[in-house]
Amino acid sequence: MGQTLTEKILDDHLVEGKLETGEEIGIEIDQVLTQDTTGTMVWLQFEAMDLDEVQTELAAQYCDHQTYQFDFKNTDDHRFLRSAAGTFGAHFSRPGNGICHNVHKENFAAPGKTLLGSDSHTPTPGGLGELAIGAGGIDIAVAMGGGSYYIDMPEVVNVRLEGELPEWATAKDVILELLRRLSVKGGVGKVLEYTGPGIESLSVPERTTITNMGTELGATTSIFPTDEKTEEYLDALGRGDEYVELSPDEDAEYDDEIVVDLSDLEPLIAKPSMPDNVVPVREVAGQSVDQVIIGSCTNGAYEDILPAAKMLEGRTIDRKTDMIVAPGSKQASEMLAREGHVAELMAAGVNFSEATCGACIGIGHVPASDSVSLRTFNRNFEGRSGIEDDSVYLCSPEVATAAALKGEIVDPRDLADELGDLEDPGFELGDRYDTGGEDPDLISPDEAVDDELVKGPNIGDVPLKDTMEADLEGPALLKMGDNITTDHIIPATQDILMYRSNVPKLSEFTLSRVDDSFAERALDADGGFLVAGENYGQGSSREHAALCPMYLGVEGVLAQSFARIHKANLFNFGLIPLTIDEETYEKIEQGDDVEIVDDVAEAVRSGQEEFTVRVNDDWEATAYLDASEREREILADGGKLAHTKKQAQSGGSGATPADD
């Protein structure tokens, strides 16, 4: 039987296990990336595991999320990260150089390689045939130390693209259409592998918009085969020699198939406040718009901003609408500037920003109260923009620019009819990214500035949890609904983000967006559980969403289902993730006393899957632990850091960098 492209790359990197759906596999990682808000923990854990040198082919540390450095704590984080990159052997990308996924795509992403990154949109370079997966920080630290990365072999779904995009429909509409059909949990446990004749018409930056936002489907990753378009893109980057032809076998068998006829697509938009709340733009036309932003790792490339510049040439934006362009990388800004587009955008009324994540997580350009913001980003979770009860829509750069011109949501096809001389700007690849000279913003390990760690006063230690106990009992501290995001658990707005390296302080904000008395109640209770509906922990890879509850004494989460990266993070920090059915979820109330009846530590280690949960000493239900042998050991040892240290001390074998 032939192999899918996913299976081929996994096979080439397989260290442990079999490529059978649902089986745990260990794979070798070629490249890792980390960024400023997850990176400090990565390096602190790397240090705590007594590792001293990066073992992967390549590691890159980006500073992209909080580049404005509003507080010395942010700047201290960046200084620490530069020192860690220098000390341990990673590339360092300065604040302002751009968003990790954009800068990585431009400089390092390569077909056929594996990439692990401490950011949920790490799958972006799947658009050029790299198998790229997002994970929690400690998984990155272990991989950098030479350890394998473990996942359950996902289902591989064939997303067959047919036809060609009609005028004004874009790559963003392809992924919005998939979100409309499959929902934010439709991709959990799956790799989306794109095939079919429709691929030919999409160039790499369009493909990476699709792979980037596969994360919003909950997918493990998304991948395209490589072809002339990939070669053309790598050539433009000055890295044509890294091209490798990659495709699935003709008789490859997939677990499922989804067909998207590109020619049926039209401009789409995700309404507030979930990326799968998708409708055709025409259905919400006429909605007045206060703010438009083009940027982010989804649509912040040169090729995403160029259409806006073309549409705005010789025009000005509506007086009541603010428009911001925040490129994904400095390279994109530089190209747009050299070609005169920045000046045109400015003349049209655009506020041209530095290359940063910024507004995507509510850092800068926070919408006014009771206002509407249209963004080309990938997430519109409630409150993420920096104000509660926000109204953020997600769309393509073309739809965003049309709204800025008209001051209201408008289908660009209708705007073109109305204006008479507005043409679909189409897609145009930049000719040459490589400006020829040295890149002063990307410091290679050979040019490292520092050779020892520099820690400011806000950079603390990584807290450790004790080994799991036999009895787990405590109150149901908080009962939540479906699709709780990591932005609910630990928001990333500036007031909170600056404590990412200081867990005791950061923990005070745990779940504050759901219940601002939570942290205090959890500390007082000294133990207890979280209860949630479906898809608990969707969104970011931030391990703080497990680390902070752990610090507050939470012992576990009872949920109807979990998002992949968050579930792994719960294991990594010693919190038991138990699955409950709908009936149990409905019956259990906040404040109920919950006891896991068995000798939990023993049961976890011995492979027990069903656990009896006794509530208020009154009724019982069954909860399930779906975990590999390796995950069970990590959980029972009190988390991955404690587990890795224990392994290293005993000189034993297993999933540790010390002995891999």
Binding site for ligand MIC (CB under 6 A): 37-38, 65, 119-121, 361, 492, 539-542
- Tokens coding 121: 């949109």
**Cβ 76 to ligand SF4 shortest distance, Å:** 20
Q: List the single partner that 208 binds among ligand MIC, ligand SF4, none, CB under 5 to 8 Å by kind.
A: none
Torsion, CA 473, CA 478, CA 482, CA 485, rounded to 10: -100
Nearer to ligand MIC, 120 or 353 (CB): 120
CA distances to 24, 628, 655 from 608, rounded to whole Å, are 17, 11, 21
Site residues for ligand SF4, 574-593, by CB under 6 A, read none
Site map 521..540 versus ligand SF4, x via CB under 6 A:
--------------------
Q: Which of 361, 422, 511, 623 binds ligand SF4 (CB under 6 A)?
A: 361
Q: Are 192 and 157 in contact (CB under 8 A)?
A: yes
**Cβ 64 to ligand MIC shortest distance, Å:** 9
Q: List the single partner that 38 binds among ligand MIC, ligand SF4, none, CB under 5 to 8 Å by kind.
A: ligand MIC
Q: List the single partner that 353 binds among ligand SF4, ligand MIC, none, CB under 5 to 8 Å by kind.
A: none
Q: Which of 143, 323, 357, 443 binds ligand SF4 (CB under 6 A)?
A: 357
Output phi, psi for 156, to 5 deg: -110, 120
Spatial distance between the Cα atoms of 363 and 225, rounded to a whole number of angstroms: 36
**Cβ 160 to ligand MIC shortest distance, Å:** 28
Q: List the single partner that 628 binds among ligand SF4, ligand MIC, none, CB under 5 to 8 Å by kind.
A: none
Spatial distance between the Cα atoms of 540 and 520, rounded to a whole number of angstroms: 24
Site residues for ligand SF4, 292-331, by CB under 6 A, read 296-297
Spatial distance between the Cα atoms of 472 and 613, rounded to a whole number of angstroms: 10
SS3 544: helix
Looking at 348-459, which runs of residues are DSSP E strands?
350-352, 372-375, 391-394, 442-443
Spatial distance between the Cα atoms of 375 and 396, rounded to a whole number of angstroms: 8
DSSP string, 232-301: HHHHHTT-GGG-------TTB--SEEEEEEGGG---EEEPTB-TT-EEEGGGGTT-B-SEEEEEHHHH-S
- DSSP class of 536: B
Site map 365..404 versus ligand SF4, x via CB under 6 A:
------------xxx-------------------------
Q: List the single partner that 37 binds among ligand MIC, ligand SF4, none, CB under 5 to 8 Å by kind.
A: ligand MIC
**Cβ 449 to ligand SF4 shortest distance, Å:** 25
Site residues for ligand SF4, 84-143, by CB under 6 A, read 99, 119, 121
Q: List the single partner that 8 binds among ligand SF4, ligand MIC, none, CB under 5 to 8 Å by kind.
A: none
**Cβ 100 to ligand SF4 shortest distance, Å:** 6
Burial of 475 (0-12, 13-18, 19+ CB in 10 A): middle
Spatial distance between the Cα atoms of 324 and 333, rounded to a whole number of angstroms: 13
Q: List the single partner that 539 binds among ligand MIC, ligand SF4, none, CB under 5 to 8 Å by kind.
A: ligand MIC
Nearer to ligand MIC, 84 or 558 (CB): 84
Looking at 136-255, which runs of residues are DSSP E strands?
149-152, 155-162, 190-195, 221-223
Among 60, 52, 53, smallest CA distance to 92 is for 60
**Cβ 103 to ligand MIC shortest distance, Å:** 14
**Cβ 484 to ligand MIC shortest distance, Å:** 14
**Cβ 377 to ligand SF4 shortest distance, Å:** 6
Burial state string for 570-604 with b = 16 or more CB within 10 A and e = fewer than 16 = bbbbbbbbbbbeeebbeebeeebebbbebebbebb
**Cβ 169 to ligand SF4 shortest distance, Å:** 23
Nearer to ligand MIC, 37 or 170 (CB): 37
Spatial distance between the Cα atoms of 533 and 7, rounded to a whole number of angstroms: 32
**Cβ 439 to ligand MIC shortest distance, Å:** 23
Q: List the single partner that 99 binds among ligand SF4, ligand MIC, none, CB under 5 to 8 Å by kind.
A: ligand SF4
Kindly tell me the number of DSSP H helices and DSSP E strands found in the chain.
Answer: 24, 27
Helix (H) or strand (E) holding 201: none
Is residue 359 at the binding interface for ligand SF4, with CB under 6 A as the rule? no
Nearer to ligand MIC, 318 or 508 (CB): 508
Q: Are 149 and 27 in contact (CB under 8 A)?
A: yes
Q: List the single partner that 296 binds among ligand MIC, ligand SF4, none, CB under 5 to 8 Å by kind.
A: ligand SF4
Nearer to ligand SF4, 178 or 641 (CB): 178
SS3 610: strand
**Cβ 99 to ligand MIC shortest distance, Å:** 9
Is residue 63 at the binding interface for ligand SF4, with CB under 6 A as the rule? no
Is residue 360 at the binding interface for ligand SF4, with CB under 6 A as the rule? yes
- Tokens coding 619: 């009724």
Among 106, 139, 110, 105, smallest CA distance to 122 is for 105
**Cβ 101 to ligand SF4 shortest distance, Å:** 6
* Number of residues forming the site for ligand SF4 (CB under 6 A): 12
Binding site for ligand SF4 (CB under 6 A): 65, 99, 119, 121, 296-297, 357, 360-361, 377-379
